[in-house]
Structure 1
Amino acid sequence: MVSTTWGGLAARALFYMSTHPPNRTATHAAYSGNTELSVKALQDWYEPRTGGWRTAGWWHNANILTVLTDWALIEGPNQNVNVTDIAANTFVNAQKLHVEVRKRHSTGGQTSWSQKFARETEDGFPKFINEYYDDEGWWALAWIRSYDLTRSIEYLEMAESIFEDMHSGGDNICGGGIWWNKDKQYKAAIANELYLTVAASLANRVQGSKDKYLQIARGQWTWFQESGLINEESLINDGLNTTTCLNNHDTTWSYNQGVILGGLVELSKATGNDSYLSTAVDIAKAAIAKLEDKDGIVHEADLCDLRGNCGVDGPQFRGIFMRNLHYLYKAVPNQDFATTIRKNADSIWAKNRDPKTNRLGISWVGPPEAGGGPTAKTHGCAMDTLVAAMGVVAGSK
């Protein structure tokens, strides 16, 4: 006689679930629902007048817009959050906001900075240009993704305009590459990864100038490979010592392992050369091995997330890695990448969410209030992972 006790039913259900993966549609619905709740929570920080999100800095706002457009590309039209309208408002109003930013690069690759918001002026940051080439790269990518969502040509033209300013930051010191900022004191990996990624992305979208952008992207990748920025572990350090032009062996921050993945995906698409994807897979595998713990949860390279303090920039880093890991997964559907993304999304929702507000904190193993959060930065970072999980389950554009 078969037992009909709860214990017997539960045991059989557990066995069934272990041998029959969850229905793909149901799983997508769960991730979609969770992510929509996080999108609504994010918008509590949005200020239409400034086009930005409170508690986030200038470049963080570009990344927050990017994760929203990535979500909208997967989700499709949503009656509760209109990302097309958000992008249009940010496009107009963020340029008007006068933001005085001062950054300082310190040992280990961490950045300290101050940011002062003044009243709206005509000067502001017109065309999203400031003193930092990496900031410009983030905004260029945000407008490229906004173009992908809306097909509004003004966004693509803005990305081209921003890229022209980035291009002016290049020279032959250390054999090539662009500077981190306009003081020309440091050649950072992140600025150069963004330069590559924007160039390759434009090559795939601006057909009349494809050859120009592709030539730049190819040349930039050749320089990047030969610069020594990729170390013997297939990880990317923070930058070059501009006295010796050698790898400075500073921290292998997660976002440096991420942006390069997206750049190589775009370069592979532009050229039809899969060898770029092979290199990206090697970097992704090395990064996962370096960053994840025994439970598969990704931490920052210096474990600052577990301390609740990743400085002013670091709270955004891991989300950028997960976003670009998702881009790579779409090109190379490696199930290990999907597992990493989903494990982290599940941990974030179960352990790092304020159940009253659905806001997400800095530590993906919780609690959400670690480090005085959540903030728009920590939330946007975690949301990148939720969106990536939606993508690996459902597929995306």
Structure 2
Amino acid sequence: MKMSRRTLVTLTAATLPALSVASAAHSAPPTPPHADGAQALARARVAADVLMADYDQNKAWFPSSWWNSAVALQTVGDYMLRSGDRRYLDQLDHTFERNKGPFPAGELSGDELYGNFTSRAIDDSGWWALTWITAYDLTGDQKYLDMAVTIGDFMNDFWDPSTCGGGIWWDEERTYKNAVTNGQWIRLTAELHNRIPGDTAWLERSQVAWDWYTTSGMVNEDGLLNDGLTDACENNGDRVYTYNQGLAIGAALELWRATGDPHLLDKARYFADAALVEGALVTGGILTEYTDVLGETTNDNHKQFKGIFLRYLMDLADTTGDSRYRDAVATQASTIWEVDRNVADQLGVRWAGASTEESPNVFDWRTQASAFSALIADVPQDGVRRSLSASLSQAPVVMPDGEPVQLELDLDVTITSADARRLHVRLEAQGPEGWEIENAHRVTVDVPGTGRDGEPETVTVPLGVTVPADAADGDHRISVTASGPGGLEFLARTEVVVARTIDFAAGTREDAPWLFDAGGSGVTDEPGRFADGDSYFVYRFPFPASTTSAQLTLTISNQYLVDVGPDGESWTRVLAEDEPIKDASNRAAHELDLAPSLDGEDKDVYLRVTDAFPEDGWGGQVHHVSVTYGGS
């Protein structure tokens, strides 16, 4: 049986198996050696590529999360500024042009979007303003700065000194004054002042906001920011979230740039030092959100908080040159890479890598974006002369049939160099005992020379893998070590999943091997995988060549359309919900005969789920999939 490689859409990250993540205890593991500049840049580049593989080109965002998309895109902007790699400028601009108009509730956000990236959630608007300033810094294009001003004007309408003496409201309903919105506001207004010649208005707003912020009561006696104020305008004693502390650092730094007041730089240090005290926001030296602790449950908001802290800790380390902050950054980055990374180079929510069966680490694009910030911060501010990275394509599932199976994978070797030159890279592949791997042992990359950092050059090398007929079910590691001049080295990894049964919970790491195309779908905490609007997802079942019958049991709910087909291109409708159900009251297990789709060139069968009512923000949700099959 020969299985040709298909181009697989990168999976929604929460579903990928954490195959190489250590199952750590509550405390952080010993700190790994810090990366040198070349390693740090290579790691950040790989993390950027993994993150952007989840970018939905159609909707021009990251699926199902509006404010998280803003923060993720700003992080990609941070990477481009730091590395000189500008490959993702088009996606940044595509998001700007595609999404600057109004949208009804449910299309891109649970809230209605008024246009110009504003909504009833004032802090959501603030994240987009900060993202467009980063885009302006990257490109110099005035439209981005103008958009940030427009959003700033919108937010300014929610500055209200009649309650608690000042502060920006968190929401349009004016229910809460909190740390995140006001930390954003100071950073944003100071950034606008520092980019608009002759400005005085934004600077005045920033200074007034800072004076209110630091005397509002949100800063507790330990120098940490509790989440917000009570109706009586007192510190509410709520959690100290890492992103609020990060914004305090960032606000002080940018206002210091605007004024030169040394007290502000001291305050930035003060907020950072308070956070980095053992037991405050770090455990064993590793930044830790309270939801990271084993037994706690994270959510889509908390997943990105730590990355925002690292953005501004990087700013402080760059500004002061203080080795304490640089070491703190390097510790986060090295630990993430060693113990919080799965075989697909996805980065999890627990930077210390803790994971158990009852309380697994979580991997998705939000956790990727957050940990990515730590890798960016670890890249030297003054650039890197040369770097090398490598990555292996995702392998398809193998369902053995008594004969060896041949796979073709792609190995991408990527190099940056300040000088134009031809670089020779050695390749050494390894696989399980008894498996055959065919690959080139050396590849040559011609690098034109782009100055320090710059856009990378990539060469794709085929890798042939023969899976023995008697390969055991489970995950089998394939790796390639790429070695270049000057001690450059990078390890690329992938897993081949061998399976003789199909039975998995959708929206978990179990469904990852079967997910052929994530299609902008999302996952829920229940768990489940859903497709709403114009998103979809496709499972692929590569049955053995002898298969003549297959019966699928699909547990599904809400507003679904289900199609099956033999090639991932032609489809037959097999299930459809004709009522706009939103409460999963139609959840049921459906028996589907897959035999009619077994007549393709191979015995692959594809199952696609889409939204029966794409206009209302609710779509089909799959909960469980199991298949029985037989043959001659």
Are 2:173 and 1:168 aligned? Answer: no
* Counterpart selection for 2:89 from 84, 89, 96: 84
Per the alignment, in what secondary structure is the counterpart of residue 234 of structure 1?
Answer: coil
Distance 1:197 1:88 in 2: 23
The residue correspondences of 1:162-241 to structure 2 (distance < 5 A) are: 162-172=151-161, 173-208=163-198, 210-241=199-230
The structural deviation recorded for 1:282 is 0.7
Task: Name the amino acid aligned to 1:299.
Answer: T
- Name the residue aligned to 2:66: 58
Structure 1 residue runs of 5 or longer lacking an equivalent are 1-20, 101-115
Aligned to 2:57: 48
Residue 148 of structure 1 and its aligned partner are, at CA, apart by 0.4
1:316 to 282, 304, 310: 304
Asked if 2 retains the 8 angstrom alpha-carbon contact of 1:229 and 1:236, the reply is yes
Aligned residue runs from structure 1 range 317-396, under 5 A? 317-355=305-343, 357-366=344-353, 371=360, 373-391=362-380, 394=383
Distance 1:152 1:227, change over 3 A: same
How far off its partner does 1:193 sit? 0.7
Correspondence for 1:127: 116
> Per-residue deviation at 1:176?
0.4
CA 1:391/1:306 → structure 2, altered by over 3 Å: closer, same or farther? farther
Name the CA shift for 1:163/1:277 in 2 (closer, same or farther; >3 Å): same
What TM-score results when the alignment is normalised by the length of structure 2? 0.52
Aligned residue type for 1:228 = G
Query: Shift of the alpha carbon at 1:308?
Result: 6.2
Q: Alignment partner of 2:275: what SS?
A: helix
**Matched residue, 2:46:** 37
TM superposition shift of 1:130: 0.3
1:286 aligns with 274
Q: Aligned residues: percent identity?
A: 31
Measure how far apart 1:77 and its partner are.
Answer: 3.3
Contact preservation (8 Å) 2:130, 2:188: yes
Aligned partner of residue 200 in structure 2, secondary structure: helix
TM superposition shift of 1:226:
1.4
Instruction: Describe the superposition over 1:202-252 as per-residue Cα deviations: whole angstroms up to 9, x where unpaired.
Output: 0100114x211110000000111111111110111100002x111111111
Question: How far apart, in 2, do the equivalents of 1:156 and 1:328 lie?
Answer: 23
Distance 1:176 1:163 in 2: 16
Match of 2:404 in 1: none
Measured against aligned partners, the alpha-carbon deviations of 1:359-380 in whole angstroms (never above 9, x if no partner) come to: 1111112268965731111110
Aligned mate of 1:94, from 89, 99, 102: 99
Q: Distance in 1 between matches of 2:124 and 2:341?
A: 29
In the TM superposition, residue 162 of structure 1 has moved relative to its aligned partner by 0.1
Contact 1:364 1:382 in 2 (8 A): yes
Q: Give the Cα separation in 2 of the matches to 1:188 and 1:137.
A: 13
Does residue 28 (structure 1) correspond to residue 18 (structure 2)? The answer is: no
For residue 137 of structure 2, the aligned residue among 148, 157, 160 is: 148
Indicate the RMSD between aligned Cα atoms, in angstroms: 2.3
Alpha-carbon distance, 1:335 to partner: 1.0
Aligned-partner Cα distance in 2 for 1:330–1:281:
12
Deviation at 1:304?
3.0
CA contact (8 A) 1:351 1:368 kept: no
Q: Deviations over 1:154-193 (max 9, x none)?
A: 0000000000010000112100011000100110111011
2:241 aligned with 1:253, yes or no? Answer: yes
Amino acid at match of 1:197: R
Q: Does 1:136 align with 2:125?
A: yes
| Number of aligned residue pairs | 347
Unaligned runs of 5+ in 2: 1-32, 385-451, 454-632
Is the contact between residue 97 and residue 117 of structure 1 (CA under 8 Å) also seen in structure 2? no
Which whole-Å CA distance do the structure 2 matches of 1:305 and 1:60 have between them? 22
Task: Find the aligned partners of 1:293 and 1:77 in 2 and give their Cα distance.
Answer: 33
Distance 1:117 1:266 in 2: 34
Secondary structure of 1:45 counterpart: coil
